[in-house]
């Protein structure tokens, strides 16, 4: 009875304190609304998932026990077969893989295209920070609401654009209407800012408090930013495909970002970690000696804070055995993310490149901070940045929307039509009629086409796309014929074995590391077990040799993993003559699921090789004049050479020679040299120039 009275008195005291503090009442109300919202969302998701489960079991005839084991390709094949039998879509007799992707990714393809054409105002100039990218969940939500499903949006339903937005006669009026809609939504965001801010704080508190307490170093981990996911996303790439690709690129990207260190920050972190760790060690020793120490006020708080400080400081201390090789690391990142600006090439060691990469691959702490600031910044972005672009947005949706029978209105970029949206600098020269306005940037059309073709081997591309793919295959075969054999590229070497020593690394990952290592290092460092020296080659020719080798089912490669690659990878290869992998893999549900997963890994590896190869060719075509001038200069240097000298330059450094003639000296600047024979000639020339300068100084 006494304890019951005590409980009542405590409850009355708490209620009295709450009633006197309106801020606590507001927070409790918001927390209650938050929990109710999450509960309703969970229930709605469960109902939606139950409907999907029922469709998979009854319509697609997938056994209940195998629901988690079927790959997307197998589900898609059954869906296409069901359309042939029951005509689910009455407007088309047959559905293609591209039709299914278009229906699923209708709005996301528009978002990817708008980011690709730099239409969304996500680049801001902030005081003390300069140009930065701000793209939060709240801003993305507002964009999608304005464009696709909100009041006054451009789409009248989930399938069709409003007919008035397809006519050019009223574009100015429609732009003014969109401008008013954006202004109203921006003002609404501004008025609701306090409530949304509290909501974001509660969400961050409920989501990250336990994680930070359990793993304080998690704030120093990185994640792909929301902008990065749209910038790096292919047209017609599903969420799970994108997530798998970015997950494969997580470790290389982390290694690249961690390769940049600040000596001042490192020294500060080491000393702070030492002092904090010393105090923490004393407190822990005291608690072990006498547990009554824990009863001292704030002692647990001090131990927790000191532990967090030590963990954070250690994240800023680099590995003392780390090797500085940013170019190779960035090339490994490119193999998985498939996109990067042209000016990153050759500038991987620059802080500007690192800062731009950080906008795609940000700290988790930065992500949380952006989400907390989103309610404050989003209204101003909508009112002052998005609203002036209303006319451009109207023109974009009118010019780049097409109606497909049985699918509805889609983004024309999602058709991956090289003739309409190809870029001549990305192997589309002579095959595209697109103007600069119609071209996709960064080779998005070409790379998306290759990605979709490789991941959907049964899809038959249109005529123009088939011509592009055939042209690329011919280019690969030609470069492979002039390059080194694939078995030399993939043979065992001491360096390759060192890089591949991690047992957890899968075979496709091993292939990419082995390829980049072989094409990057001098032949003397890549001697295989048979004593053969690998020949010098470029990254493009190395990638072409391996891609061409996928057309053969058996290759005399040296390692077990690479042998397995050739035996299995050839079946899913773009260069295979009979592309019937889905028919083979779907014959057995239980056995085919594991095989489909293996083939999916090899398909991603093949796409990684294509990305490296196409970027190398793009760099060559983007600088034809520079390459011609460099070749002419190198030829003149070769003519001056008289005798070879020992090779002291690494032939993995890609290079040009620039002569700057001044009053009484000639400066030779070696930036990168590929051929080791030319390095001999350059050594002779440098020695002669140096001797001549010394003689002139002695005479003077």
Q: What is the pLDDT of residues 230-254, one digit of tens each?
A: 999 999 999 999 999 999 999 999 9
- Kindly report the backbone phi and psi dihedral angles of residue 324, in degrees, each rounded to the nearest multiple of 5, phi listed first: -85, 105
DSSP state of 666: E
Structure tokens at 670: 């070696």
User: For residue 646, what pLDDT band results from cuts at 50, 70 and 90?
Assistant: very low
Distances (CA, A) of 553 to 281, 550, 572, 607: 60, 7, 11, 18
* Statement: residue 552 has pLDDT above 60: no
pLDDT at 697: 60
182: β partners: none
pLDDT at 13: 64
pLDDT at 677: 44
DSSP state of 532: P
User: For residue 698, what pLDDT band results from cuts at 50, 70 and 90?
Assistant: low
Cα 537 to its chain centre, rounded Å, is 27
Give dist(CA 9, CA 15) in Å, integer.
10
pLDDT digits (tens, 9 = 90+) for 327-368: 888 988 999 999 999 999 889 999 899 999 999 999 999 999
Give dist(CA 581, CA 596) in Å, integer.
9
Give dist(CA 484, CA 534) in Å, integer.
8
pLDDT at 684: 58
Top pLDDT among 44 and 572 is at: 44
The stretch 39-65 carries a mean pLDDT of 94
Q: Are 656 and 633 in contact (CB under 8 A)?
A: yes
Q: What is the pTM of this model?
A: 0.79
pLDDT at 25: 77
The helix (run of H) or strand (run of E) holding residue 224 is strand 222-224
The helix (run of H) or strand (run of E) holding residue 581 is helix 581-585
* Statement: residue 434 has pLDDT above 80: yes
Q: What percent of the chain has pLDDT over 90?
A: 41
pLDDT at 375: 96
- For every residue of 355-416, DSSP letters joined together read HHHHHHEEEHHHHHHHHHHHHHHHHHHIIIIIGGGHHHHHHHHHHTEEEETTTEEEEGGGG-
pLDDT at 540: 75
* Statement: residue 83 has pLDDT above 70: yes
Of 328, 425, 334, 329, which Cα lies nearest the Cα of 612? 334
Give dist(CA 409, CA 164) in Å, integer.
13
Top pLDDT among 454 and 13 is at: 454
Which residue in this structure is represented by tokens 């002692």? Answer: 299
* Statement: residue 530 has pLDDT above 60: no
pLDDT at 518: 54
* Statement: residue 647 has pLDDT above 90: no
User: For residue 675, what pLDDT band results from cuts at 50, 70 and 90?
Assistant: very low
pLDDT digits (tens, 9 = 90+) for 386-428: 999 999 999 999 999 999 988 999 999 999 999 999 999 898 7
């Amino acid at each position: 009875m006494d304890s019951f009275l005590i409980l009542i008195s405590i409850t009355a005291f708490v209620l009295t304190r709450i009633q006197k503090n309106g801020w606590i009442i507001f927070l409790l109300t918001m927390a209650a609304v938050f929990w109710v919202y999450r509960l309703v969302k969970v229930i709605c998701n469960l109902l939606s998932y139950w409907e999907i489960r029922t469709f998979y079991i009854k319509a697609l005839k997938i056994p209940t026990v195998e629901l988690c084991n079927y790959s997307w390709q197998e589900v898609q094949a059954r869906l296409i077969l069901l359309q042939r039998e029951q005509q689910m879509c009455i407007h088309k007799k047959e559905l293609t893989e591209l039709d299914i992707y278009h229906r699923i990714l209708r709005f996301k393809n528009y978002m990817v295209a708008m980011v690709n054409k730099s239409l969304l105002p996500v680049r801001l100039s902030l005081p003390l920070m300069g140009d930065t990218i701000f793209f939060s969940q709240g801003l993305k939500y507002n964009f999608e609401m304005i464009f696709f499903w909100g009041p006054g949006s451009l789409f009248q339903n989930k399938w069709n654009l409003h007919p008035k937005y397809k006519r050019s006669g009223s574009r100015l009026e429609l732009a003014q209407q969109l401008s008013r809609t954006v202004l109203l939504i921006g003002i609404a965001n501004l008025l609701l800012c306090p409530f949304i801010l509290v909501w974001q704080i509660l969400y961050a508190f409920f989501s990250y408090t336990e994680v930070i307490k359990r793993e304080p170093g998690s704030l120093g981990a990185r994640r792909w930013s929301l902008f990065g996911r749209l910038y790096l996303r292919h047209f017609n790439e599903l969420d799970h495909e994108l997530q798998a690709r970015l997950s494969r690129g997580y470790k290389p990207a982390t290694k690249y970002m961690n390769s940049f260190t600040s000596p001042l920050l490192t020294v500060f972190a080491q000393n702070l970690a030492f002092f904090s760790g010393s105090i923490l060690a004393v407190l822990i020793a005291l608690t072990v000696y006498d547990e009554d120490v824990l009863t001292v006020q704030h002692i647990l708080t001090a131990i927790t804070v000191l532990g967090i400080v030590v963990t954070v400081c250690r994240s800023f201390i680099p590995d003392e055995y780390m090797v500085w090789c940013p170019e190779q690391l960035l090339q490994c990142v490119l193999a998985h993310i498939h996109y990067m600006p042209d000016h990153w090439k050759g500038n991987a060691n620059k802080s500007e490149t690192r800062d731009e990469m950080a906008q795609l691959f940000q700290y988790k702490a930065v992500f949380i901070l952006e989400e907390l600031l989103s309610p404050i910044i989003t209204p101003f972005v909508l009112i002052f940045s998005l609203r002036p672009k209303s006319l451009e947005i109207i023109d974009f949706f009118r010019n780049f929307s097409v109606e497909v029978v049985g699918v509805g209105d889609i983004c024309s970029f999602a058709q991956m039509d090289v003739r309409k949206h190809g870029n001549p600098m990305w192997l589309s020269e002579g095959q595209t009629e697109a103007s600069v306005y119609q071209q996709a940037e960064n080779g998005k059309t070409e790379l998306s086409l290759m990605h979709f073709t490789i991941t959907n081997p049964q899809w038959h591309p249109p005529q123009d796309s088939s011509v592009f793919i055939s042209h690329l295959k011919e280019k690969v075969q030609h470069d492979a014929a002039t390059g080194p054999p694939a078995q030399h590229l993939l043979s065992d070497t001491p360096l390759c074995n060192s890089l591949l020593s991690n047992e957890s690394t899968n075979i496709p990952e091993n292939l990419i590391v082995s390829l980049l290592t072989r094409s990057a290092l001098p032949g003397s460092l890549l001697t295989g077990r048979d004593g053969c020296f690998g020949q010098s080659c470029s990254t493009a020719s190395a990638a072409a040799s391996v891609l061409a080798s996928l057309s053969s089912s058996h290759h005399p490669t040296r390692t077990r993993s690479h042998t397995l690659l050739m035996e299995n990878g050839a079946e899913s290869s773009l260069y295979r003559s009979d592309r019937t992998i889905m028919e083979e893999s779907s014959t057995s549900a239980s056995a085919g699921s594991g095989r489909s997963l293996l083939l999916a890994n090899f398909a991603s590896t093949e796409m990684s090789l294509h990305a490296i190869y196409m970027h190398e060719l793009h760099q060559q075509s983007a600088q034809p004049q520079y390459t011609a001038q460099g070749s002419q200069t190198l030829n003149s240097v070769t003519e001056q050479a008289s005798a070879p000298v020992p090779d002291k330059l690494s032939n993995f450094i890609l290079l040009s020679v620039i002569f700057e003639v001044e009053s009484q000296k000639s400066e030779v600047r070696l930036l990168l040299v590929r051929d080791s024979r030319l390095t001999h000639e350059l050594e002779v020339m440098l020695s002669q120039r140096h001797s001549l300068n010394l003689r002139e100084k002695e005479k003077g």
